[in-house]
Structure formats: C-alpha cells, structure tokens
Homo-oligomer: A and B are copies of this chain.
C-alpha cells in the first residue's frame, strides 16, 4: 500500500508502522488482534500529537532506574513489539533492561519460534519462554498465557511489558513484581496497575529508555534508589490527562474560531 502513498502524506509515519504490523500478521509473527491494539495506539498517539512528552520522559527515567536496580529484570516480548522494534528490544536487553522472554496473548504454533528468530537475527544471544522453556505457570485468567519461563518472568523482580493487556499486568503486579509498561492510553488498566507507565509510542520510547539506562547506570545505587522513591505513577498519568485536557480545549477553541 505504501507504494501508492507519498512520504509527504500527513499520516505517512503512522501508515508505515501500520504496514509493518499488517505484514507481521501475514507472516504469523503478530496476531490479528494486535492490529486492533495498534489502532488504539494510533488514536492515542494522534491525540498526544505524536510526540514524547514530559510525563513520558519522567516515566522513562524511572523505568531506567527500576531496571538498573532490579536483581533479575525481564523484558517480555509479544508479537507487536517484536514486529515493531526488534532491534530496540535487543539493545535494551544488552543495556541491562533484562533477559528477553517471549510471552504471547495468543500462543499459536510457530509464533514463539518466529519471534525468537527475529530477536536472534538482531543479535539476541538468548530468548526465554519459547516452547518447553515456558514450563512454569503463574495464576492468570487465561490458561494459555499462564506459561512463563522459570528462569525468566517467574524468577523476576522487575518485568518490562510494553503494549500489554490489563489482565496480564494485574497478574504480574499481584505477584509483587515491579511492572514497567509502555501504554499510550493513560486510562487503561495496564497503565493504572503498572508501577511505571510510559505513555508514549513504543517506537520512540525504547531508544530513549536505552539511553537513559546507560546514563543512570553510572550513578551510585543509593542515589538511584532515592530518586526512584520520588516517582509517582498516578501523578504521571494525571499529567498525561492534563496534556489531553489542555490540547482538547485549545483545539475546541480553534474549531469555534474557524
């Protein structure tokens, strides 16, 4: 489709991301429901002006602090993030963000292996949660999603779950893990139940998170701990809503003035 759309089209970047994901569904890397999730993100990103805003930067900083302080951090990978930003996931893992573990909402034959091979093609040395490695289980609503790696999510103290659904986020938080997420909807259950919510497009947030992880890793541990304690996720979500409040009010004025 993008063959027909010129780069100056107002929605070009967004269309590019969309096409990447449609291809991933056709290749069995992402699930059809992942396209719906992508659409939800598109709409919210549009409302936020497709920019990484101050509340997202603050959450990225906190996420980097939490990951750097974790004893056993894990980066949970689903079909959508694997399709949209595989190289950033590998870079994050190498920067200390955690071991990579595939964890899918829809476990269909071959999907885990496809995601593993994508991550490996971008330089991942190990990918957990594939096939028989997902031999442990956590209490969760949907049986097919209970399966986790005993060396990964099960043993983790901090799990990064970008683009995750509410049930899974709640299940991980209930196990006492520090859940860090990327979610463009500040009202979602995922956004509200996570300890740290980066309200941003994952495509923009991951490179910034990698950078920040390198920055904070140079700080003494007690300094990192003290800074992380000042982080308030509900306040960050409220700031995201403040931004929408202001922007919608400004746009409404524009509509009325013509």
Q: Is A43 in contact with chain B by the CB < 8 A criterion?
A: yes
Q: Is A4 in contact with chain B by the CB < 8 A criterion?
A: yes
A residues 25-77 near B (Cβ < 8 Å) are 25-26, 32-33, 35-44, 46-47
A153 → chain B closest CB, angstroms: 21
DSSP majority for the A interface?
Answer: helix
By the criterion CB–CB under 8 Å, are A10 and B255 in contact? no
The distance in angstroms between the C-alpha atoms of A246 and B248, with both chains bound, is 9
Q: How does the 8 Å CB contact mask read for A170-195 relative to B, with 1 for contact and 0 for none? A: 00000000000000010101000000
The distance in angstroms between the C-alpha atoms of A159 and B25, with both chains bound, is 33
Q: Is A115 in contact with chain B by the CB < 8 A criterion?
A: no
Which of A46, A239, A253 gathers most chain B CB within 10 Å? A46
Which residue on B lies nearest to A26, using beta carbons?
Answer: B32
Chain B residues, CB < 8 A from A189: 10
A140 → chain B closest CB, angstroms: 11
Q: How does the 8 Å CB contact mask read for A233-257 relative to B, with 1 for contact and 0 for none? A: 0110111011011001101110110
A residues 112-152 near B (Cβ < 8 Å) are 142-143
Q: Is A94 in contact with chain B by the CB < 8 A criterion?
A: no
Which residue on B lies nearest to A235, using beta carbons?
Answer: B256
A164 → chain B closest CB, angstroms: 14
By the criterion CB–CB under 8 Å, are A32 and B32 in contact? yes
A residues 198-248 near B (Cβ < 8 Å) are 234-235, 237-239, 241-242, 244-245, 248
By Cβ-Cβ distance, the 9 closest A-B pairs, closest first, are A39-B39, A35-B35, A241-B252, A43-B43, A36-B39, A40-B43, A238-B255, A245-B248, A39-B40
A residues at B contact (CB < 8 Å): 1, 4, 10-11, 18, 21-22, 25-26, 32-33, 35-44, 46-47, 106, 142-143, 166, 185, 187, 189, 234-235, 237-239, 241-242, 244-245, 248-249, 251-253, 255-256, 258
Name 30 interchain pairs, CB-CB below 8 A, sorted by A: A1-B106, A4-B142, A10-B166, A21-B36, A32-B32, A32-B35, A35-B35, A35-B39, A36-B36, A36-B42, A38-B39, A39-B42, A40-B40, A40-B42, A40-B43, A40-B46, A43-B43, A46-B187, A187-B251, A234-B258, A238-B253, A238-B255, A238-B256, A241-B248, A241-B251, A241-B252, A242-B249, A242-B252, A244-B244, A245-B248
